[in-house]
């Protein structure tokens, strides 16, 4: 038997040694001798079936299913058998790519050729008829849910504001009786009072991109017309909204794309220079270089500083650090921790058929309709990659393609079956996309990152438990 | 024959399309209306529950429907649900047009007064589902009472799984065989069908007062049953509890059987039909659940109805509320067939299975010499 016959992970905190059992999807505190034995098992130096006198704790862990040699036989997503019904009746969101044009040229944007020239900014815009058809498609395919989401996307969607008005007015009649949540992702510079009032009236959530202070934002984000930096224009708009529409401002989100070649503290400086931004929702992530030609480079201390601030926010979650001293960049962390912990539902053991975490149901969750009417699984993947295009407005969703995306883990079946982080995996089909082909080796490139995230979740779970059990400390989630 | 327009139609009101003409033979549903956003308009009403065609088409043409009906029926719904947002205004318009109003939607006191005055002024009927027509006397009965006739409980396991429809189906079957049935339930529409949208249940489910005093509530359950038995002299009482009997993991909160527990402290049912969401359950799983229910309520699962409604656990977890969808009804039927070899499992939304479920109940009750 090899070490992978028992799926588990080990970790330590200052108070305890822990075993995470994949089959039970649960962490349990163990004694040091057991930890040491299991460490040897993990390193392949010892087998759990080789004991002459099995230690009591190991026997108990086996008995309770924490250590089990039961293996997954087949990888198949739980919703595979429901897929056609879900696609037919539970479509939750449509994102409309209103235009491929933009008044910015951000260097990391795929349209600015960061995908090897597969996509370019163009003057292509979505015909209004096509937008209406997409709305009706959403209506016909969401009969089992009372609320749906409509996103406006681009290029820069505000270049098509009159079309947005027409679409929303169309939705009011054609989708009467349904709760609609609108979101728009914009660079903000075209925003004016008329637009803001229209958004307030129709409950449109605004997501504005801003990457950091002037010298950082302007390194990547320049105007298309003259190549000049865009920071001043964006911050002026944000300030205007803050002063004139404070309630709307609080509901607006700033989307920060962080370039890790910069100093993290310098990015964070934005909130010291412009403290009013702290009143907004902040959503931050490093530049998404999956599928990009130019990969991220990392400033030496970027990660350590980022982790430090992340840690401070976690101390806030543990009720040990004041919120106002935390970096707003991590303001979403408490809810992310909560979600990760909620997802950690206890299990009775492994079944013969399982599927790792990662993919959502393609077409159900966040379908993007391109200017040409193609259905792309979401706005975050390459819209020119064949496996990601799962149909079009005329013929609907192609079942076989969604099946392949939902079951993308079948590509790496053997590795996944032996992976301790199976249920915490975050890799959806996007991470298997090697220039238009779903590839196992591409997917496996991201495993380490996914396992690291899983490892952090386990530690956090343990620390939160310890906060309550050992320090009698309530937590803020 | 009075012509009924139903607005707004949703999957929850599908049973009314089937059973209103049966329980109210002088009424015919001629218009099934739904706002455009539900996606039902222009399609057969059965699409709402993913079954084969019912022959009733859904329309969104409220204007036309209003000229073509005598009664406007608004089914049970929450006024803050966007699908019901136009319902109050439509009822007022309909009353002014001389239509009878049957309202199953919870109204504020002000709205109730206003609508009732409007209906009086236009000399049309105003039937409010939250007010039981059948007024029970409130004189005190003390001491213990055990119904002398069988009580059949129909409830849901973890979430709404057709219990309203199953109760109506059973009521019809009992009546067809000549039994006198008193049916009580938590849906206000029971009051439109000549059954009991029991004010006591409605108060417990949607009101705010009764639960505060548990001993009083138990006493009232007893009185209510005693009164029904004395008044209607039924051969059998069917009781339909909406909501859920047990929690669904840690996904979201539901009633977790609190209401059923209270009820079963007052009245011991003789038979329980438990309606479950579609689940690829094994007979062993059902056995375990039955035992769990018995431990909690003193009555387990005599039979199971398998719904074609499925819990979407991923979405429920994300949204912290129950999210479901409807599989093609055939799949629920197949699942019931699989379980049938070892458990009394039925898919009572299918005609033949209704009969089988009914026969199982009759068999069990006569075994105990109850019927
Ligand atoms: S981290 Fe890699 S091996 Fe593990 S489940 Fe995810 S894809 Fe499979």
Which of A425, A441, A448 to probe ligand 1 with, by most ligand atoms within 8 A of CB? Answer: A425
Which residues of chain B are within 8 Å of residue A178 when distances are taken between CB atoms? Answer: 35, 37-38, 82-83
Of residues B38, B86, B325, nearest to A86 (C-beta):
B325
Q: B24 CB contacts (<8 Å, ≥6 apart)?
A: B192, B193, B194
Interface of B with A (CB under 8 A): 8, 11, 34-40, 47-48, 50, 81-83, 85-86, 249-250, 310, 312, 314-315, 317-318, 323-328
Cα of first residue to Cα of last residue in chain A, in angstroms, is 42
Residue A403 Cα to ligand 1 middle (Å) = 18
Q: What is the mean pLDDT of residues B5-12?
A: 97
Interface of A with B (CB under 8 A): 79, 82, 85-86, 89-90, 92, 139-146, 173-179, 339, 342-343, 345, 360
The pLDDT assigned to A52 comes to 84
Of residues B36, B250, B323, nearest to A345 (C-beta):
B250
Residue A439 Cα to ligand 1 middle (Å) = 13
Query: Scanning every residue of chain B, which has its alpha carbon at the shortest distance from the alpha carbon of A147?
Result: B82
Query: Scanning every residue of chain A, which has its alpha carbon at the shortest distance from the alpha carbon of B43?
Result: A140
List residues bridging with B105 in a β-sheet: B77
Q: Are A92 and A145 in contact (CB under 8 A)?
A: yes
Contact B312 A90 (CB under 8 A): yes
Question: pLDDT by residue (tens digit) across A172-221?
Answer: 999 999 999 999 999 999 999 999 999 999 999 999 999 999 999 998 89
DSSP string of B14-34, one letter each residue = HHHHHHHHHH-TTEEEEEEE-
Q: Which ranges constitute the DSSP H helices of B80-139?
A: 87-96, 109-121
Q: Cβ(A425) to ligand 1 under 6 A?
A: yes
**Exposed, middle or buried, B366 (CB in 10 Å: 0-12/13-18/19+)?**
exposed
The pLDDT assigned to A119 comes to 66
Residue A118's pLDDT band, with cuts at 50, 70 and 90, is: low
Q: What percent of chain A has pLDDT over 90?
A: 73
List residues bridging with B126 in a β-sheet: B101
Q: A368 CB contacts (<8 Å, ≥6 apart)?
A: A94, A95, A96, A97, A151, A153, A375, A376, A377, A378, A379, A383
Q: Cβ(A451) to ligand 1 under 6 A?
A: yes
Q: What is the mean pLDDT of residues A277-281?
A: 92
Contact A146 B82 (CB under 8 A): yes
Residue A92 Cα to ligand 1 middle (Å) = 27
- Which residue's C-alpha comes closest to atom 6 of ligand 1? A425
Q: How far is A93 from chain B (nearest CA, A)?
A: 13
Dihedral of alpha carbons B336, B339, B342, B345, sign: negative
Is residue B198 scored above 90 in pLDDT? Answer: no
Of residues A79, A178, A342, nearest to B38 (C-beta):
A178
- Which residue's C-alpha comes closest to atom 1 of ligand 1? A447
Residue A339 Cα to ligand 1 middle (Å) = 20
- Taken in order of first residue, the domains within chain A and their CATH numbers are 3-70 (no CATH), 80-342 (3.20.20.70)
Q: In this predicted model, which residue has the larger pLDDT, A114 or B41?
A: B41
Q: Cβ(A443) to ligand 1 under 6 A?
A: yes
Instruction: State which ligand 1 atom lies nearest to the alpha carbon of A448.
Output: 1
Which residues of chain A are within 8 Å of residue B47 when distances are taken between CB atoms? Answer: 143
Q: What is the mean pLDDT of residues A3-18?
A: 89
- Taken in order of first residue, the domains within chain B and their CATH numbers are 2-128 (3.40.50.720), 151-367 (3.40.50.300)
Contact B37 A79 (CB under 8 A): no
Contact A139 B328 (CB under 8 A): no
Q: Quick one: which of B195, B131, B138, B141 has its CA closest to B164?
A: B195
Residue A474's pLDDT band, with cuts at 50, 70 and 90, is: confident
Please tell me whether residue B236 adopts helix, strand or coil conformation. Answer: strand
Contact A82 B327 (CB under 8 A): yes
Question: pLDDT by residue (tens digit) across A353-411?
Answer: 999 988 899 999 999 999 999 999 999 898 899 999 999 999 999 999 999 999 999 99
3-class SS string, chain A: CCHHHCCEEEEECCCCEEEEECCCCEEEEECHHHHHHHHHHHCCCCCCCCCCCCCHHHHHHHHCCCCCCCCCCEECCCCHHHHHHHHHHCCCEEEEECECCCCEEECCCCCECCCCCCCECCCCECCHHHHHHHHHHHHHCCCCCCEEEEEEECCCHHHHHHHHHHHHHHHHHHCCCCEEEEEEEECCCCCCHHHHHHHHHCCEEEEEECCCCHHHHHHHEEECCCCCECHHHHHHHHHHHHHHCHHHHHHCEEEEEECCCCCHHHHHCHHHHCHHHHHCEEEEEECCCCCCCCCCCCCCCHHHHHHHHHHHHHHHHCCCCCHHHCCHHHCCHHHHHHHHHHCCCCCCCCCCEECCCCCCCCCCCCEEECCCCEEECCCCCCCCCHHHEEEECCCEECHHHHHHHHCHHHHHHHHHHCCCCHHHCCCCHHHHECCCCECHHHHHCCHHHHHHHHHHHHHHHHHHHHHHHCCCCCCCC
Contact A175 B36 (CB under 8 A): yes
Segment (H or E) for B100: strand B100-105
Is residue A117 scored above 70 in pLDDT? Answer: no
Residue A99 Cα to ligand 1 middle (Å) = 36
The pLDDT assigned to A452 comes to 94
Is residue B140 scored above 60 in pLDDT? Answer: no
Average pLDDT, chain A: 92
Residue A290's pLDDT band, with cuts at 50, 70 and 90, is: confident
Residue A119 Cα to ligand 1 middle (Å) = 30
CA distance A422 to A396: 32
Q: What is the mean pLDDT of residues A85-111?
A: 92
The pLDDT assigned to B209 comes to 57
Which of A422, A429, A441, A448 to probe ligand 1 with, by most ligand atoms within 8 A of CB? Answer: A422
Q: Cβ(A419) to ligand 1 under 6 A?
A: yes
The pLDDT assigned to B142 comes to 61
Q: How far is A46 from chain B (nearest CA, A)?
A: 37
Question: pLDDT by residue (tens digit) across B334-366?
Answer: 999 999 999 999 999 999 999 999 999 999 998
Residue A344's pLDDT band, with cuts at 50, 70 and 90, is: confident
Is residue A2 scored above 60 in pLDDT? Answer: no
Q: Cβ(A412) to ligand 1 under 6 A?
A: yes
Q: How far is B81 from chain A (nearest CA, A)?
A: 8
Q: Quick one: which of B40, B26, B150 has its CA closest to B100?
A: B26
Q: Quick one: which of B54, B103, B46, B97 has its CA closest to B79?
A: B103
Residue A452 Cα to ligand 1 middle (Å) = 11
Of residues B11, B37, B250, nearest to A178 (C-beta):
B37
Q: How far is A173 from chain B (nearest CA, A)?
A: 7
The pLDDT assigned to B227 comes to 86
The pLDDT assigned to A1 comes to 44
Q: Cβ(A422) to ligand 1 under 6 A?
A: yes
């Amino acid at each position: 038997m090899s070490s992978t016959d028992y799926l588990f992970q080990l970790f330590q905190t200052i108070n305890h040694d822990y075993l995470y059992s994949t089959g039970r999807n649960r962490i349990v505190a163990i004694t040091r001798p057991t930890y040491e034995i299991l460490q040897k098992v993990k390193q392949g130096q010892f087998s759990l079936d080789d004991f002459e006198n099995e230690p009591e704790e190991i026997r108990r862990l086996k008995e309770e299913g924490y250590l089990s040699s039961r293996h997954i036989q087949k990888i198949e997503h739980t919703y595979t058998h429901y897929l056609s019904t879900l696609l037919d009746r539970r479509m939750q969101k449509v994102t409309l790519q209103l235009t491929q044009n933009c008044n910015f040229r951000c260097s990391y944007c795929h349209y600015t050729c960061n995908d090897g020239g597969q996509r370019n900014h163009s003057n292509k815009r979505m015909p209004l008829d096509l937008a209406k058809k997409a709305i009706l498609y959403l209506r016909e395919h969401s009969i089992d849910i009372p609320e749906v989401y409509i996103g406006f996307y681009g290029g820069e969607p505000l270049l098509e504001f009159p079309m947005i008005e027409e679409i929303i007015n169309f939705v009011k009649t054609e989708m009467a009786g349904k709760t609609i949540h609108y979101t728009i992702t914009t660079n903000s510079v075209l925003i004016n009072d008329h637009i803001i009032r229209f958004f307030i009236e129709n409950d449109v959530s605004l997501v504005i991109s801003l990457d950091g202070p002037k010298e950082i934002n302007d390194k990547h984000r320049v105007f298309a017309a003259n190549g000049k930096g865009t920071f001043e224009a964006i911050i002026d708009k944000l300030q205007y909204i803050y002063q004139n529409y404070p309630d709307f401002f609080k509901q607006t989100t700033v989307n920060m794309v962080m370039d890790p070649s910069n100093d993290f503290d310098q990015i964070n400086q934005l909130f010291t220079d412009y403290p009013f931004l702290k009143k907004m929702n902040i959503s931050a992530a490093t530049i998404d270089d999956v599928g990009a030609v130019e990969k991220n480079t990392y400033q030496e201390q970027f990660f350590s500083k980022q982790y430090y601030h992340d840690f401070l926010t976690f101390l806030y979650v543990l009720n040990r650090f004041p919120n106002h001293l935390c970096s707003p960049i991590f303001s979403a962390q408490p809810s992310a921790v909560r979600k990760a912990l909620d997802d950690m539902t206890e299990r009775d053991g492994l079944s013969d058929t399982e599927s790792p975490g990662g993919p959502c149901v393609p077409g159900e969750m966040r379908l993007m309709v391109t200017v040409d009417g193609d259905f792309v699984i979401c706005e975050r993947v390459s819209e020119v990659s064949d496996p990601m295009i799962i149909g079009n407005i005329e013929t609907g969703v192609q079942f076989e393609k969604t099946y392949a995306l939902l079951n993308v883990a079948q590509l790496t079946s053997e590795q996944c079956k032996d992976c301790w982080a199976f249920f915490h995996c975050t890799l959806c089909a996007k991470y298997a996309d090697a220039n238009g082909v779903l590839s196992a080796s591409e997917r496996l490139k991201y495993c380490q990152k996914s396992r690291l995230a899983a490892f952090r979740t386990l530690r956090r779970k343990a620390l939160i438990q310890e906060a309550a059990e050992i320090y009698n400390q309530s937590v803020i989630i | 024959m009075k012509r009924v327009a139903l607005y707004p139609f949703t999957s929850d009101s599908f049973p009314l399309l089937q059973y209103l003409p049966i329980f109210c033979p002088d009424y015919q549903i001629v218009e099934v209306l739904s706002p455009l956003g539900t996606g039902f308009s222009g399609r057969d009403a059965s699409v709402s529950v993913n079954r084969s065609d019912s022959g009733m088409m859904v329309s969104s043409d409220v204007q036309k429907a209003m000229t073509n009906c005598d009664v406007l029926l608004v089914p049970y719904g929450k006024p803050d649900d966007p699908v019901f947002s136009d319902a109050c205004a439509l009822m007022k318009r309909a009353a002014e047009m001389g239509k009878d109003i049957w309202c199953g939607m919870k109204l504020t006191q002000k709205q109730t007064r206003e609508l009732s005055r409007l209906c009086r002024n236009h000399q049309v009927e105003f039937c409010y589902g939250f007010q039981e027509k059948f007024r029970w006397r409130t004189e005190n009965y003390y001491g213990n009472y055990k119904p002398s006739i069988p009580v059949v409980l129909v409830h849901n396991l973890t979430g709404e799984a057709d219990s309203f429809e199953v109760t109506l189906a059973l009521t019809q079957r009992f009546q067809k065989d000549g039994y006198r049935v008193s049916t009580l339930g938590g849906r206000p529409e029971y009051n439109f069908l000549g059954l009991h949208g029991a004010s006591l249940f409605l108060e417990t489910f949607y009101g705010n007062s009764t639960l505060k005093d548990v001993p009083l509530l138990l006493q009232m359950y007893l009185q209510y049953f005693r009164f029904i038995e004395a008044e209607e002299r039924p051969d059998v009482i069917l009781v339909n509890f909406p909501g859920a009997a047990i929690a669904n993991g840690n996904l979201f909160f539901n009633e977790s059987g609190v209401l059923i527990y209270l009820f079963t402290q007052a009245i011991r049912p003789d038979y329980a039909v438990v309606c479950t969401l579609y689940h690829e359950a094994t007979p062993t799983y059902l056995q375990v659940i039955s035992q769990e229910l018995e431990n909690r309520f003193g009555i387990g699962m005599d039979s199971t109805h398998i719904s074609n409604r499925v819990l979407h656990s991923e979405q429920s977890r994300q949204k912290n509320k129950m999210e479901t969808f409807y599989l093609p009804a055939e799949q629920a039927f197949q699942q019931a067939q699989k379980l049938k070899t070892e458990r009394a499992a039925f898919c009572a939304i299918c005609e033949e299975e209704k009969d089988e479920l009914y026969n199982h109940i009759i068999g069990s009750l006569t075994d105990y010499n109850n019927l």
